[in-house]
Amino acid sequence: MFSLSGVSKSYDGQTVLPALDLTIDEGKVVVLVGPSGCGKSTLLRLLLGLIEPDSGTVEFRGQPMTGNIVPELRHQIGYVIQNGGLFPHLTARENVTLLASHLKWKPEQIESRVDELRELSHLPADALDRYPTQLSGGQQQRVALMRALMLDPTALLLDEPLGALDPLIRAELQKDLRDIFRSLGKTVVLVTHDIGEAAYLADEIILLRRGVIIQRGTISDLLHRPADPFVVEFISAQRNPLEEVTG
């Protein structure tokens, strides 16, 4: 689905990604983890064609993510960011349907897609006609997910989609996201810095440090067959503090 070859990216002389090779297979849920600043968001933006690499190539379904074709390719990729990125002056419904309207979908087609997605994302019906500031953080993320899925993309990229939510809401959305990923079978690349969330959602985890892939595998690979001392360090730094108390 995605293929990166020799991809490098620097900002102001600072290397973020030195030379990344990466393929992401169709239908997999891949979770990117790593410390803050290691290049997770940069990598997602490259996959989406929002930024171009300094060198190397990014391909989406065998097509280079560059030039005039990018906007069209991007319609096949849904994108959700931490705070939803909803347009504040549009209602939830308008946010969700903006692109489909622009693409001249028929009103009844839009309406039935919205109904379908609202059910899938467990958004209360009365929330659709509210503005983002009138929605809770969790509801905003449900709307952002609906918007990302509106055109029925083949791939879904999520950048710390639950990062700003409190623990109970977060747990609820984690469960819903997992159900949605499973039922839709889309290719998903999700960024989090929470290893527990990664373990819960991922078919495969990719651990990055300073733009370099330290290990790629299942949670069990990372736990039981760490490829580098950094894997152990990263995981144990996030161990549940209650473990110490309860054994």
Residue 161 contact partner, candidates ligand ADP, Mg ion, none, CB within 5 to 8 A by sort of partner: none
From the CB of 201, what's the least distance to ligand ADP, in Å? 17
- Smallest distance from the beta carbon of 9 to ligand ADP, in angstroms? 8
Distance in Å, CB of 134 to ligand ADP, minimum: 29
Question: Among Mg ion, ligand ADP, none, what binds residue 38 when CB lies within 5 to 8 Å by partner kind?
Answer: ligand ADP
Binding residues for ligand ADP, per CB under 6 A? 11-12, 16, 34, 36-42
Q: Where are the beta strands (DSSP E) in the chain?
A: 2-11, 14-24, 29-33, 55-60, 63-64, 77-80, 155-159, 187-191, 204-209, 212-217
Q: Which does 37 bind (CB under 5 to 8 A by kind): Mg ion, ligand ADP, none?
A: ligand ADP
DSSP per-residue string spanning 141-190: HHHHHHHHHTT--SEEEEESTTTTS-HHHHHHHHHHHHHHHHHH--EEEE
Contact indicator for 129, 93 with CB cutoff of 8 Å: yes
Interacting partner of 30 out of ligand ADP, Mg ion, none (Cβ under 5 to 8 A depending on kind):
none
In angstroms, give the least distance from the CB of 114 to ligand ADP.
31
Longest dimension (CA), the chain: 59
- CA-to-CA distance for 43 and 12, rounded, in angstroms? 17
Query: Looking at beta carbons only, is 82 or 218 nearer to Mg ion?
Result: 82
Site residues for Mg ion per CB under 5 A: 40-41
Beta strand 2-11 with 55-60 is antiparallel
| Residue closest to Mg ion (Cβ) | 41
